[in-house]
Amino acid sequence: MALRTNGKLSRRELIKALSMATAGSTALSPLLAGCRQSLQTPEELERGLRRDALDGKPKFLIVIAAAGGASIVDSFLAVRASESGPNAARINCFPDAQVQAVSGSPFRAVRVDAPKLGSIPIAVRADQLAFVNKYKDDLLVATSVGTSVNHVIAQKRSLTGNGAWKGRTLQECVALQWGQGLPLPSVNMAVGGYTERGTDGSLPASVYAEAVAKPSLWPLGLDGARGVPGAPAKDVVTLARKARDDVDAASVFRTTFSESSVIKRWVAQREETSRLEQQDLITRLNVIPNMPPQIPLTQYGLETSPDGAALRAAFPRFFDDPFQGQAALAFLLLKYRVSAAVTIGPDFNVVLGGAAGLANPPLAFDFSHNDHRAGQAFMWQRILDTADKLITLLKAEPFDAATGESLWDRTLIYVATDFGRTRSRPDNATEFGSGHDLNNGFVMLSPMVKGNTVLGGVDASTGLTYGFDARTGAPQPGKLTSNEPDIFSGVLHAMGADLSGSGLPDASAFKNA
Amino acid sequence: MRPELSTVVVALLLSACPPAKVDPPPPPVVMEQPDAGGLARSVTGNLRFKGPERLNADFAAALELQPADVCKELGQYACVGVHNLAMGGVDPYGPGVYEPSPVTAVTTPLVVERLAWGACAQRVDKDLVAPSSAVVFRGLPMTGPRLTKPDGAEVVAIIGEMTRRGLLREPYENEVTRYVQLAKDLDGSGTAEPARAWMVSLCFAVLSSSESVFY
């Protein structure tokens, strides 16, 4: 084909060029479409693998599992007696002076001063005001109605939105979207139903959480030999592993079970061990100090984390209060980009110590069966104190020097809980027990949520929360139907997760504009 | 007491206290050749990870150690307790884990290795300190810190002994060849104590093999 001297095509040449282009596009079209589809197959979209197009940088989810039923009307949505009218004496509302207004905010803060905690002779003094004042702009409360008052089932549903997205948990969604390539995309230190896997078996194995029971000692298991008395040096370890793997690969056992998924997984995991060790997580995640003779770290060739001193200052009881140990480890897992999702929470066991002599009552929030008001106040204080320290650490940790973002700017804390508590009480009782109730609300903390916001509201005459429109945020008084998928979707919407193919409801109301 | 009876009692007492003697070296190895071509593949592949208690007990039995002494983190916390969940254990009273995990965790291979190194180092050191009562690593000619002959019959015998203890079978020829090669590699690696390093490494390789940790 030649151009005319004036650079234009002749009519014949134009027709020829167009016919070639048509033929070419016809031939290439399926190929090009195939390329596009290979990037966005329905399966890939369904699995949420299309990454957030905003910046491609990781985001982090910390789930604080408030086991036992953290009641929202004993914290940020508390009701004053003067608002409850004739029902005031028989529902769970507070004397007006105990429900503090928060300037410029829809939230409330409860103050409780009780002489004892049920039958436990310790005084309970709790005041939520300082926390709410400090974090109200990053705080969102969404009212909720669950579908189970069984602890374990309700715990799990608070993380799956009652099977809102093929049964996968929030942590699995976050690990899938932002944790791929991290050593342990999800780490779970909580209890009961909060530790259970989701039911979507199609996800990559890496998104299912690594379970941790002893957060302070767990980092020792991140190296195969360091700190083991008598174990040889790294070069010998490498030779020994190589010999083992060679023998293993050719063994009758491996040949016999070569098709076993268990063996395939094992071999793949073993191949990753060196990569994990190279990150020196046994040191970086180790909050324990060198403290001979009780804890002679150096005698075992170990060191404390470079962040150890700061974390021990923030969480001084990290070793014998598991919740403090979990919070310290959660920070390190995020800081060193080990995990995208971390789950922590108090368990149902008694933990002694602390200023009051008791750090955790038996049954955590479920101690409310014995003494609702003091139990809730004590446990909310425990949750908020830990969240406060964690957020302070995250705010002080730079994430991206170019944008000036801190680690906190990329993190969402979701305070998951089993369910709410029954609202009734004997006439004007200040010490009473409560049962499990589907009606409640969830707390989220993050710069990514629409801060200083209550989605839904409380009917002061009953103490029950009512719903809201998850897309617009408009309150819907009288709405008492289950909204677990809205909460689930709200967390992911706020984080900017890709929800393609999920079928989740639009929960734009949760997201910071 | 009748004279005949007292004689019998004395004889029994004497027989219960034999004179101290050095244990004989391990028996010779009867090597087998794996018949890869003729092996049937398992269709179900229904393997189970042994879990913390069974693994710890098996390592202890193989090396004649007390189960409580197999491995202790920082010299005081039992590895099977610290790494219980990573090894597929249950913990009903703490995190409320009532059922073992159906799959191995990312950190499982690492904690298995810690268990193996801890147990093996103890066994080797006990055997080296008291050769006359050595349990596994006995009869190995050493020249200073080195094996006198890394491919000698005594080395092969130890490979057999360790395989029988760890895997309850005789070693295959390729296994013997590879572990002899390991002895030679360590001998030439510049390691300060190549003989000890080989003993611990052999023990580690056998105990942390797939065959040892699954059933």
Nearest Cα to Cα of residue A205 among B173, B8, B80, B102: B102
State the average pLDDT over residues A461-475. 98
Q: Which amino acid is at A73?
A: V
Residues A464 and A373 in one domain: yes
Q: How many CB pairs under 8 A join A and B?
A: 223
Residues A390 and A474 in one domain: yes
State the average pLDDT over residues A134-153. 98
The stretches of A196-260 forming alpha helices (DSSP H) are 234-249, 252-256
State the average pLDDT over residues A202-220. 96
Residues A502 and A375 in one domain: yes
Whether A183 sits inside 8 A of B106 (CB atoms) is yes
Residues A190 and A328 in one domain: yes
What confidence tens digit (pLDDT) does each residue in B94-124 have? Answer: 899 999 998 999 999 999 999 999 999 999 9
Q: Which domain holds residue A237?
A: 218-282
- A282, A306, A324: which is the final residue of a domain? A282
Residues A245 and A200 in one domain: no
From residue B211, alpha-carbon distances to A500, B121, B206 in Å are: 43, 21, 8
Whether B205 sits inside 8 A of A240 (CB atoms) is yes
Residues in A touching B96 (Cβ below 8 Å):
152, 191-192, 195, 347-348
Cβ proximity of A69 and A348 under 8 Å: no
* One-character DSSP codes across A144-194: EE-S--SHHHHHHHHHHTTTTTTT--HHHHHHHHH-TTSSSSEEE---GGG
**DSSP-derived 3-state class of residue B133:** helix
Residues A319 and A412 in one domain: yes
Nearest Cα to Cα of residue A432 among A94, A65, A22, A61: A94
Q: Which two tokens stand for residue B140?
A: 């190995």
A10: pLDDT confidence band, cut at 50, 70 and 90? low
Q: Which two tokens stand for residue B117?
A: 């190194």
Is the pLDDT higher at A157 or at A23? A157
| Percent of chain A residues past pLDDT 70, beyond the cut | 89
Per-residue pLDDT at A37: 39
What confidence tens digit (pLDDT) does each residue in A228-281 have? Answer: 999 999 999 999 999 999 999 999 999 999 999 999 999 999 999 999 999 999
Per-residue pLDDT at A53: 43
Residues A278 and A296 in one domain: no
Chain B, 154 to 183: residues with Cβ < 8 Å from chain A are: 172, 174-175, 178-179, 181-182
Is the pLDDT at B185 greater than 50? The verdict is: yes
Phi, psi angle pair for B63, to nearest 5° = -110, 5
Q: Is A211 on the interface with B (CB under 8 A)?
A: yes
A160: pLDDT confidence band, cut at 50, 70 and 90? very high
Cβ proximity of A465 and A439 under 8 Å: yes
Largest pairwise CA distance in chain B:
70
State the average pLDDT over residues B192-196. 97
What confidence tens digit (pLDDT) does each residue in A369-414 have? Answer: 999 999 999 999 999 999 999 999 999 999 999 999 999 999 999 9
Nearest Cα to Cα of residue A303 among B122, B70, B79, B74: B74
Q: Beta strands A60-66 and A341-344: pairing type?
A: parallel
Is residue A361 reached through a cis peptide bond, with omega within 30 degrees of 0 on the bond before it? no
Per-residue pLDDT at B37: 62
Angstroms from A23 CA to nearest CA on chain B: 51
Per-residue pLDDT at A329: 98
Per-residue pLDDT at B18: 47
Residues A165 and A258 in one domain: no
B6: pLDDT confidence band, cut at 50, 70 and 90? low
Find all residues with CB under 8 Å of B135, minimum gap 6, and list them: B23, B63, B64, B123, B126, B127
Cβ proximity of A187 and A338 under 8 Å: yes
B23: pLDDT confidence band, cut at 50, 70 and 90? low
Is the pLDDT higher at A287 or at A19? A287
Per-residue pLDDT at A355: 84
Q: What is the dihedral angle through the alpha carbons of A282, A284, A290, A295, rounded to the nearest 10 degrees?
A: -40
Whether A248 sits inside 8 A of B211 (CB atoms) is yes
* One-character DSSP codes across A349-367: S-EE-STTSEEE-TTGGGG
What confidence tens digit (pLDDT) does each residue in B25-52 have? Answer: 788 777 766 665 677 888 888 899 999 9
Per-residue pLDDT at B36: 53
Question: Does A41 map to a domain?
Answer: no
Q: List, edge to edge, every strand of the sheet that includes A108-114.
A: A99-101, A108-114, A124-127
Residues A143 and A190 in one domain: yes
A2: pLDDT confidence band, cut at 50, 70 and 90? very low
| Number of domains chain A is built from | 2
Q: What is the pTM of this model?
A: 0.88
**DSSP-derived 3-state class of residue A228:** coil
Per-residue pLDDT at A9: 52
The stretches of chain B forming alpha helices (DSSP H) are 3-16, 52-63, 79-82, 108-129, 153-167, 173-187, 194-207, 210-213
Is the pLDDT at B125 greater than 70? The verdict is: yes
Q: Is B186 on the interface with A (CB under 8 A)?
A: yes
Give strand pairing partners of A433.
none
Largest pairwise CA distance in chain A:
102
**Burial degree of B189 (CB within 10 A; 0-12, 13-18, 19+):** middle
What confidence tens digit (pLDDT) does each residue in B51-80 have? Answer: 999 999 999 999 999 999 999 999 999 999
Whether B201 sits inside 8 A of A229 (CB atoms) is no
Is the pLDDT higher at A53 or at A99? A99
Distance CA(A306)–CA(A308), nearest Å, equals 6
Q: Is A296 on the interface with B (CB under 8 A)?
A: yes
Residues A193 and A331 in one domain: yes
Per-residue pLDDT at A91: 98
Selected for mutation to probe chain B from A189, A251, A261, A288 (highest B CB count within 10 Å) is A251
Angle at B195 between CA B57 and CA B67, to 5 degrees: 10
Residues A170 and A141 in one domain: yes
Per-residue pLDDT at A15: 57
Is the pLDDT at A49 greater than 90? The verdict is: no
Angle at A188 between CA B86 and CA A310, to 5 degrees: 100
Is the pLDDT at A304 greater than 80? The verdict is: yes
Q: Is A189 on the interface with B (CB under 8 A)?
A: yes
Chain B, 28 to 67: residues with Cβ < 8 Å from chain A are: 34, 36, 39-43, 45-49
Q: Is B137 on the interface with A (CB under 8 A)?
A: no
State the average pLDDT over residues B80-92. 96
Q: Which amino acid is at B21?
A: K
Cβ proximity of A244 and B208 under 8 Å: yes
Cβ proximity of B74 and A296 under 8 Å: yes
Distance CA(B215)–CA(B210), nearest Å, equals 9
State the average pLDDT over residues B150-160. 97
Is the pLDDT at A164 greater than 70? The verdict is: yes
Whether B34 sits inside 8 A of A252 (CB atoms) is yes
Least CB–CB distance from A236: residue in B86, B107, B201:
B201
What confidence tens digit (pLDDT) does each residue in A322-359 have? Answer: 999 999 999 999 999 999 999 999 999 999 998 889 99
The stretches of B17-107 forming alpha helices (DSSP H) are 52-63, 79-82
Question: Does A25 map to a domain?
Answer: no
B160-188 burial code (b ≥16 CB/10 A, e <16):
bbbbbbbbeeebbebbbbbbbebbebbbe
Distance CA(A102)–CA(A141), nearest Å, equals 14
Average pLDDT of chain B to the nearest whole number: 89
